[in-house]
Amino acid sequence: MDITWLGHACFRLRGREGVVLTDPPDPKSGHAIPKTEADLVTVSHDHPGHSSLKSVAGGPITLGVPGEYEVREILVTGIRTFHDEERGAARGPNTAFAIRLDDLVVCHLGDLGHVLAATDLEKVGDVDICLLPISGADTNLSAAMAAEVVHQLEPKVVIPMSYDPDAKPKDTPFERLLHELGVKELTPVPKLSVSRSSLPSELQVVALDSRAR
The answer to whether residue 180 is domain-embedded is yes
The answer to whether residue 1 is domain-embedded is no
pLDDT score of 212: 62
| pTM of the complete model | 0.93
Residue 168 banded pLDDT, cuts 50, 70, 90: low
Own/partner pairs for 78-82, CB < 8 Å, 24+ apart?
78/42, 79/120, 79/123, 79/124, 81/109, 81/110, 81/112, 81/114, 81/116, 81/120, 82/112, 82/113, 82/114
The answer to whether residue 12 is domain-embedded is no
The answer to whether residue 130 is domain-embedded is yes
**Range(s) of the domain holding residue 132:** 64-212
> Quick check: 93 and 86 in contact, CB under 8 A?
no
Average of per-residue pLDDT across 77-102: 87
pLDDT score of 6: 94
The answer to whether residue 141 is domain-embedded is yes
What is the tens place of the pLDDT at every residue in 6-57?
988 999 999 999 999 999 999 888 788 889 999 999 999 888 878 789 999 9
Q: To the nearest 10°, the Cα dihedral for 26, 95, 144, 181?
A: -80
pLDDT score of 139: 57
- In the chain, the number of structural domains is 1
- In single-letter form, the type of residue at position 61 comes to I
Q: Which residues pair with 81 in a beta bridge?
A: 94
pLDDT score of 109: 97
Q: Give the CATH number, domain containing residue 118.
A: 3.60.15.10
The answer to whether residue 21 is domain-embedded is no
Q: Which residue would you say has higher pLDDT here, 66 or 165?
A: 66
Q: How far apart are CA 142 and CA 201, in angstroms?
A: 27
Q: What percent of the chain stands above pLDDT 90?
A: 69
Q: Which of 87-91, 128-132, 160-164 has the lowest mean pLDDT?
A: 87-91
The answer to whether residue 11 is domain-embedded is no
The answer to whether residue 72 is domain-embedded is yes
What is the tens place of the pLDDT at every residue in 123-143?
999 999 999 998 755 556 888
